Amino acid sequence: MVAPQVPAYRVDLWNGRTRPWCIVIPVINEGERIGRLLARMAGLNISDLADILIVDGGSTDGSLAIDKLKALSVAGLLTKTGPGKLSAQLRCAYSFALANGYEGIVTIDGNDKDDPDAIPAFVDALANGVDFAQASRFIPGGTDENTPWKRRLAIRLVHAPFLSIASGFHWTDTTQGFRAYSRKLLEDPRVAPFRDIFEGYELLAYMNYRAPRLGYKCVELPTARRYPKNEAIPTKISSFRGELKVFTVLINACLGRFDPA
């Protein structure tokens, strides 16, 4: 068994577990976007279904003031202090969630591109025995607005098809961070998500590959993903170098190079 590897982090806010499920929101310098997302979640009474946890990668924009988070029903704020980017943040939050007894985790990006009205469907999927629920804007009931055309082509013609072939499950939208995992899946030593090899975007592609191959119950759920029309695209993948890294991660995942020894 691989010993769990979790980056250092501190707990800046924690009100304790009140639900079987939690919503993990990774952020870094999301500014007004994270406030808008949390306000929308508050309007939907999401905290009545699941505790809301934010995991910060080191924001410096003042967007995560504790009093504001409390007013928007946020139960916890973790701040990663160790190395790594997105996957490292997720390892911090997932480890914390499992240690505090959550039976399943829903993750949604903090950049306000995803419509949180789908969160109850993810919680319901977990409650009904699904181990991995992946958001998709491309299946019936989903909404795709203003996705940059190069990104849409890359997802539809490369990323999702490659992972579908490698995993044996038909995926349509595999770059989305909007997804849900069961405790059973995350704790399986054949999955072993708590490893330092997962630093950037590796964990996302790996889970789409690994979960179906191990026979876990996987589904796609329709969601709305909207890119803004008249402002900068909220993304951390903005250069050719970043896109090449995502492609390299995809190939390594499909070839089983992230599988535990």
pLDDT tens digits, residue range 5-29? Answer: 999 999 999 999 999 999 999 999 9
Other CB atoms within a 10 A radius of the CB of residue 62 amount to 9
Output the 3-class SS for 140-175: CCCEEECCCHHHHHHHHHHHHHHHHHHHCCCCCCCC
Domains of the chain and CATH, by start: 9-254 (3.90.550.10)
Distance CA 151, CA 154 (A): 5
pLDDT at residue 239 tops 80: no
Distance CA 252, CA 32 (A): 35
Average confidence score pLDDT of the chain: 95
Reading the block at residue 98, the tokens are 């499992």
Burial 83-104 (b: 16+ CB within 10 A, else e): ebbbbbbbbbbbbbbbeeebeb
Confidence of residue 216 (pLDDT cuts 50, 70, 90): very high
Q: What is the pLDDT of residue 202?
A: 98
Q: What is the pLDDT of residue 238?
A: 54
User: CB within 8 A of 136, min separation 6: which ones?
Assistant: 142, 171, 172, 173, 176, 220, 221, 222, 223
pLDDT at residue 241 tops 90: no
pLDDT at residue 43 tops 90: yes
Tell me if residue 18 falls in helix, strand or coil.
coil
Query: What mean pLDDT do residues 141-168 have?
Result: 96
Other CB atoms within a 10 A radius of the CB of residue 199 amount to 17
User: CB within 8 A of 1, min separation 6: which ones?
Assistant: 189, 192
What share of the chain has pLDDT > 70, as a percent? 95
Q: What is the pLDDT of residue 13?
A: 98
Which amino acid, residue 130? V
Q: What is the pLDDT of residue 233?
A: 53
Reading the block at residue 90, the tokens are 């997720």
H helix or E strand, kind and range, residue 39: helix 32-43
Residue position matching structure tokens 């993750």: 107
How crowded is the C-beta side of 84, counted as CA atoms within 13 Å? 29
Confidence of residue 236 (pLDDT cuts 50, 70, 90): low
Q: Where are the beta strands (DSSP E) in 28-80?
A: 51-56, 76-80
Residue position matching structure tokens 């299946």: 139
Which amino acid, residue 234? P
The predicted-structure confidence for 98-138, as pLDDT tens digits, reads as follows: 999 999 999 999 999 999 999 999 999 999 999 999 999 99
| 114 within 8 A of 108, measured Cβ to Cβ | yes
